[in-house]
Amino acid sequence: MSMLLALDTSTRHCSVALWRDGDCFMHEADTPQSHARSILPMVQAVLAEAQVSPGQLDALAFAHGPGAFTGLRIAAATAQGLALGWNRPVIAVSTLEVLARQAVDMGEKGPFMAVLDARMGELYAAVFCEPAKMGEAPSLITQERVLEWVSGHGVQTVVGQPGEHAGLFEACRLVEVPPRADALAALASERLNEARRMTDVVPVPLYLRDKVADKPAGR
């Protein structure tokens, strides 16, 4: 039996899931600017609901980005702290891959493009030709490159939170959902061999933009 705890705070949506051999217990909330206050009570709640102690976990997982800078730091710091305290290994998973997995679980058709609004006229995006095969790696891209990716890969479904860029995807099926910890947990459960102890590696956020205040350069 495999058990792991998954955390996602990469957007304004916050979620925690406990995966136990295919069964999933999840708590989630739309908590802008209060992830730091919400995440640990949600961890305690899912562990209590599943009647699981930290010592029973095989690993922790967190969505390491891309996403909101503060949210990514909260997830990374929480995962690091719990992993150290509980002596458990950690798995870091791309937020965009989590979104693609959600589309697959919803029965949507690929190829998929997973997107998050990066503001300043740009998006975080990745293309998945198949559920486990990436066509374009997570990148910070302009609207023009988004359209190139859509046509170049024959994208059928766009999943995520495109924000003001939703109009770009009129030719595709658009599924607007936040990343969720249950899909993250499902992905991580298939990668337990990738789990690393904090003594071996410190998991860190994936930042695709160096500074949140930067203006987009010509890309």
Tell me the per-residue pLDDT of 160-207, one tens digit each, with 9 for 90 and over.
999 999 999 999 999 999 999 999 999 999 999 999 999 898 889 999
pLDDT digits (tens, 9 = 90+) for 76-126: 999 999 999 999 999 999 999 999 999 999 999 999 999 999 999 999 999
Alpha-carbon span 103 to 91, nearest angstrom: 21
Structure-block tokens of residue 45 = 């709640």
The amino acid that residue 47 corresponds to is L
Residue 215 lies in a domain: no
Q: pTM of the predicted model, to two decimals? A: 0.93
Range of the domain at 123: 96-176
Shared domain check, 184 and 84: yes
Residues 102, 90 share a domain: no
136 in a domain, yes or no?
Answer: yes
- Judge whether 40 lies within some domain: yes
Total domain count for the chain?
A: 2
| Residues 24 and 83 both lie in one domain | yes
The DSSP-derived string for 14-53 is: EEEEEEETTEEEEEEEE-TT-HHHHHHHHHHHHHHHHT--
Mean pLDDT over each residue of the chain, to the nearest integer: 92
Q: Are residues 75 and 116 in the same domain?
A: no
Same domain? For 90 and 7 the reply is: yes
